[in-house]
Amino acid sequence: MNQNLYLLMMSVLVVTVVLAYAGYRLSKQKAQQDYEQGESNIWTKHAPKIWLIWIFVCLVHFLLLLSLYLNS
């Protein structure tokens, strides 16, 4: 695999994980605020879990890219 392509893919992946973590933190904070105000709904209840799944998918993608890079 081309070194520049690998670096580009890894940087996009890192940015995606950082944004997903920020989304997780914001949705967790929003869910806590809604719970305190008694306005809990399904989206705010399950949004942090969805962001954690997204982070997990990104980390699996990172491991696949790393193994692809190390095998080439």
- The full DSSP string for 29-64 is HHHHHHHHHT---HHHHHHHHHHHHHHHHHHHHHHH
By the 8 A CB rule, do 58 and 11 touch? no
Q: What is the mean pLDDT of the chain?
A: 84
By the 8 A CB rule, do 51 and 24 touch? yes
By the 8 A CB rule, do 31 and 45 touch? yes
Q: How confident is the model at residue 1 (pLDDT cuts 50, 70, 90)?
A: low
pTM over 0.75: no
